């Protein structure tokens, strides 16, 4: 029987403008296309996991507004358990403003709104209610005290915790020993270890530092190159399929959601990372955050994404 996945994190509405290039400070770029999509790292990862066939519980907070109502409707459509999505009576739902260029690169500004008011006690209630075999996936778009409570309480309950330390910010090293797996990108790995990650050799050095801090499993994502996996028994780059990128928004979220799905199915870590790389490659060939997440049939097909 597959393990349930609990995703704890943010829910935003993404307002996306696609232009030929990203503007420099003080510049206006004309001729863009506008899209509005559900987003937020936590919600993105929950949707990615649900579309890939997992039983998903999402823990988060939305405002008492149209964006919050749309988010709850989206969770229902995706078959995600939103019993622990709390409503904030004072703050609006989170919003992200995203600019995407012709090569699929992006820059993002986020107004957290209700995400910034998800409390330690609220996530504590949710963790208490989880089945003992659950897998917990969490990011850093909610308050750090809430993240810390979720990680410590999950560990105490015997649950495996995956931390996607995004967006990049300093963390207490004391928290690391409660993690089963950490999944930084190059920027996040550098912030947390002080090692600038530019290739496999530097990724290995950063991963070793995470191990010394008490994390048994490390996956450092390297964009189009794939992901570097480092455990007690495996240390290698797992390549990503080559694709023509349209929009890299939420590719990391797709990767993390897919990785959690594969681990919930008790796949070995190297197979899980390869599965996540393939899912993320599909996501960058489409516009949007949650809109770009592939379903299980696509990722299980032997062919690679175009």
223: Cβ contacts below 8 Å, ≥ 6 apart? 185, 186, 240, 248
124 annotated as a binding-site residue: no
43 annotated as a binding-site residue: yes
249 annotated as a binding-site residue: yes
Q: Is the peptide bond before 274 cis (omega within 30 degrees of 0)?
A: no
288 annotated as a binding-site residue: yes
Question: Which residues share a beta bridge with 100?
Answer: 18, 106
| CA 196 to each of CA 190, 206, 266: distance values in angstroms, whole numbers, following the listed order | 5, 8, 32
225 annotated as a binding-site residue: yes
Tokens linked to 47: 């949707």
285 annotated as a binding-site residue: no
The question of whether 101 is a catalytic residue gets the answer no
248 annotated as a binding-site residue: no
How many CA atoms does the CB half-sphere of 284 hold within 13 Å? 25
221 annotated as a binding-site residue: yes
26 annotated as a binding-site residue: no
* Residue in 20, 65, 199, 253 annotated catalytic: 253
How many CA atoms does the CB half-sphere of 27 hold within 13 Å? 9
Give dist(CA 158, CA 6) in Å, integer. 14
Residue ranges of the annotated binding site for K(+) are 247, 249, 283, 286, 288, 292
**Residue list for the binding site:** 12-14, 40-44, 141, 185, 221-226, 247, 249, 252-253, 283, 286, 288, 292
Q: Binding site for substrate: what residues are annotated?
A: 12-14, 40-44, 141, 253
Catalytic residues: 253
Residues that constitute the known binding site for ATP: 185, 221-226, 252-253
């Amino acid at each position: 029987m597959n393990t349930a996945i609990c995703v704890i994190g943010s829910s935003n509405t993404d307002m996306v403008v696609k232009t030929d290039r990203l503007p420099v400070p003080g510049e206006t770029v004309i001729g863009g296309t506008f899209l509005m999509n559900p987003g937020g790292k936590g919600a993105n990862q929950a949707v990615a996991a649900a579309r890939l066939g997992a039983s998903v519980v999402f823990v988060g907070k939305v405002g008492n507004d149209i964006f919050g109502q749309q988010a709850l409707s989206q969770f229902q459509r995706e078959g995600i358990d939103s019993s622990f999505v709390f409503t904030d009576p004072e703050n609006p739902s989170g919003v992200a403003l995203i600019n995407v260029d012709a090569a699929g690169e992006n820059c993002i500004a986020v107004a957290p709104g209700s995400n910034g008011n998800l409390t330690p006690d609220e996530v504590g209630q949710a963790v208490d209610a989880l089945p003992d075999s659950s897998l917990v996936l969490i990011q850093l778009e909610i308050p750090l005290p809430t993240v810390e409570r979720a990680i410590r309480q999950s560990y105490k309950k015997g649950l495996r915790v995956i931390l996607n330390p995004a967006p990049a910010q300093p963390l207490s090293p004391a928290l690391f020993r409660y993690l089963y797996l950490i999944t930084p990108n190059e920027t996040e790995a550098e912030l947390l270890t002080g090692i600038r990650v530019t290739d496999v050799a530097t990724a290995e050095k950063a991963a070793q530092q995470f191990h010394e801090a008490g994390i048994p499993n490390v996956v450092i994502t390297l964009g189009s190159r794939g992901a570097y996996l480092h455990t007690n028994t495996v240390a290698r780059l797992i390549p990503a399929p080559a694709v023509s990128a349209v929009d890299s928004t939420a590719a990391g979220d797709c990767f993390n959601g897919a990785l959690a799905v594969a681990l919930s199915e008790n796949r070995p870590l190297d197979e899980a990372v390869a599965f996540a790389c393939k899912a993320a490659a599909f996501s960058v060939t489409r516009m949007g955050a949650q809109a770009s997440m592939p379903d299980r049939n696509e990722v299980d097909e032997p062919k690679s994404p175009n």
